Structure 1
Amino acid sequence: MANREYLVDVSAYQGTSMAQYHSRGATGIIVKGTEGQWYRNPLAVKQIASAHYHHMWVHMYHFANFGHSVHQAKLEARACLAEAKHLNINKKRYIFCDWEASAQNYIQGSRLANTKAVLAFMKVCHGAGYHVGLYSGASALRNNVDASTIVKKYGACLWVASYATMGRIDTPSFAYFPSMNGVAMWQFTDNWHGLNVDGNITLIDLHAENKAKPAKEIPKIVYVPIINNNPNYHVRLLDSKGHYQKYIATNTRWKVWSVKIINGMKCYKIGTDTQWVPAKFTKIIK
């Protein structure tokens, strides 16, 4: 595929800077947001901020503790969504359910019960507007859940872990690809470029929705209201390629020249090609 991209998945075991991953060619991260109902990644906010600074896509994953319990899966999905909202995860991105064997996640229940629980989690997240996927090792995806039923429901959504060797791998060899239907992303190493971070490569375009045409209707005037009751609050502009530029003050009005989707956000052009304001910070006047 022409659209293969490298992404890294990060948790509290990694630092807050995404610079070294971006410099090696990673175009996105999958950040651990939650685990069970009890855990929130304390570094997620800074990790996401760093990813955005380096113009990287941001997806999120939840480490499952629900095993084969549908009831618990629904509770964990709600906790996951609450944190996704807190972290401002864009609803054009993916929330992956990391369902693997651990001290907190028993996967030896029946294949049917396991599948029902996983689907229950995914249904809640999908119902909230997110794309959804399932992560696990190749063996678990083949033997402990009915992956074909999950793929039938959500399309190519499997994020499968399978390593050719337990050591540094910079570029994956597809001679070792764990062939199965519905793979969206392959985790091919736990030590990408010697950085002690999981390396992943996409098999589908996770960001295809960002190629949608911009809205045809262009407002004439937009207003940037005061934010958080702070008259000194400023809004940062972007250029047409998604790089952040200068700030503009709130409580101001601007003429709109064009509309465009930039970094997954609808933006209004209020001046030159380096002056695009995210629409979410504005109100249409006329």
Structure 2
Amino acid sequence: MASYFIDVSGYQPDTLAYFQDKKARGAKGVVVKTSQGGYGGTPYINPQGKAQIANAKKAGLKVALYHYGTFNSLKYGSGDPATEAHLMADVAKAWGCGYDTVMVLDAEDSSLRTKASADAALFYNELKRRGYSHFDIYGPGSWFWAGRLKIGTSYGLDGWPAAYNNSGSGVSGAKAWQYTDNWKGLGVDGSLDYSGQYTTGSTSTVKAKPKTYTKDNVHDYYFTYNSGRIITKTTIYQHRTTKLSSKSNRGLKIKAGTPVDIAKVHFDSKGIVPFFELANGCYITANRDMVINAFYESPLKAIKVIKATYLYKDLQRTKVVKRSGFKSNKWPKNTQFTVDKAIAYNGKWLLKLSNGYYCTGYKLYVKKIA
């Protein structure tokens, strides 16, 4: 027998009373929107999502997550779907959702390529690399009928088509069906779950640190890419050889709060756990508990200057914006700017501001305020 579930975004309330009411009316699960878009573009995070998840769980509803996709590998390269997967994974982790959470791609935006399933595969691949293993795909019934979206595949997608005012979704094999956008007159999307994926059991919280690191989970605990520059969170040591666990290889001590430039990223003999090489030939840990990226790359809307800095007219930072009537072209401490997006350039992250200019994303010069 099919069970009811709903899906919510920033338009719906986040209170316990709201979800208790939906539970009382027959809903057994809820799919919460995490995000939209991706890093480097115009990322969006549901501001009520964390509270919606917490209160839905308290009300006894099973929780799944969905991300509204806007990627297109034909226009922006094969890495575009991956940036959106990273955003969803980062939000899911920050909100305390475990790796067994059903992660749904909402594929309905007009920006998606015609063969949306090809890009969806790139999206799921990245989520899988981040440790997630339960996926599904949502979209208009017509997209499934036309072959733009597919169920099954190597990702085991049950399929969640939307088709209103019909006796069914019309999609052969689909195990969920969104049949209304006004479930029981409550102004929320309503769906039927035929497999139990969205309504049976509970959703776990983030798992404890694993005993064994794998290629699928190591990213959550170590930097697996060259961030260009890091800032130490704790006191760490440089090591003369790649054996970072050996105290006899320790070199200079690096105090907490020290910025350090990274030359290369290496991996252990199994090709899994990474560590950094410095320009002086020494090595340091890439553990996220001990070092952080020195540049902002996460979604942010506004910054303020904490150390006087220049703005530039170009991404290459060759044309300084002149401050007419001032002695210095540097923008002073506490100046605030709104941010359009973060851009990776030459191994570092720069911020494109809403005024059209560029500035550093270096955390010793600017601070995220929104």
TM bucket by the smaller chain? 0.5 to 0.7
Aligned length: 191
Could you list the runs of 5+ residues in structure 1 that have no partner in the other structure? 165-174, 212-286
Q: Secondary structure at the match of 2:135?
A: strand
Q: Secondary structure at the match of 2:195?
A: coil
Residue 142 to residue 71, structure 1, CA distance change in 2 (3 Å): farther
Residue 210 to residue 52, structure 1, CA distance change in 2 (3 Å): closer
Matched, 1:41 2:50: no
The whole-number CA distance in structure 2 between the counterparts of 1:183 and 1:25 is 22
What is residue 53 of structure 1 aligned with on the other side? 58
Q: Secondary structure at the match of 1:8?
A: strand
The amino acid that maps onto 2:45 is R
The amino acid that maps onto 1:42 is P
What is residue 161 of structure 1 aligned with on the other side? 162
Q: From 167, 190, 193, give the equivalent of 1:176.
A: 167
The whole-number CA distance in structure 2 between the counterparts of 1:146 and 1:19 is 34
**1:151-187 CA distances to partner (integer Å, 9 max, x unpaired)?**
12223421110001xxxxxxxxxx6212323412110
1:90 is displaced (CA, Å) by 2.5
1:106 is displaced (CA, Å) by 1.4
Q: Bigger radius of gyration, 1 or 2? A: 2
The amino acid that maps onto 1:185 is A
What is residue 180 of structure 2 aligned with on the other side? 189
Residue 134 to residue 189, structure 1, CA distance change in 2 (3 Å): same
Asked if structure 2 preserves the Cα contact closer than 8 Å seen for 1:156 and 1:181, the reply is no
Mapping for residues 124-143 of structure 1, pairs under 5 Å: 124-127=126-129, 128-143=131-146
Asked if structure 1 preserves the Cα contact closer than 8 Å seen for 2:69 and 2:105, the reply is yes
Mapping for residues 11-160 of structure 1, pairs under 5 Å: 11-17=9-15, 18-37=19-38, 38-69=43-74, 70-101=78-109, 105-107=110-112, 109-111=113-115, 114-127=116-129, 128-143=131-146, 145-147=148-150, 150-160=151-161
Matched, 1:202 2:202: no
If the length of structure 1 is used for normalisation, what is the TM-score?
A: 0.62
If the length of structure 2 is used for normalisation, what is the TM-score?
A: 0.48
Among all aligned residue pairs of Structure 1 and Structure 2, give the percentage whose two residues are the same amino acid.
Answer: 27
Asked if structure 2 preserves the Cα contact closer than 8 Å seen for 1:135 and 1:159, the reply is yes
Residue 68 to residue 186, structure 1, CA distance change in 2 (3 Å): farther
Give the structure with the higher percent helix.
Answer: 1
1:33 is displaced (CA, Å) by 0.4
Quote the RMSD (CA, aligned, Å).
Answer: 2.1
**1:118-139 CA distances to partner (integer Å, 9 max, x unpaired)?**
1111222233223001110101
What is residue 4 of structure 2 aligned with on the other side? 6
The amino acid that maps onto 1:124 is E
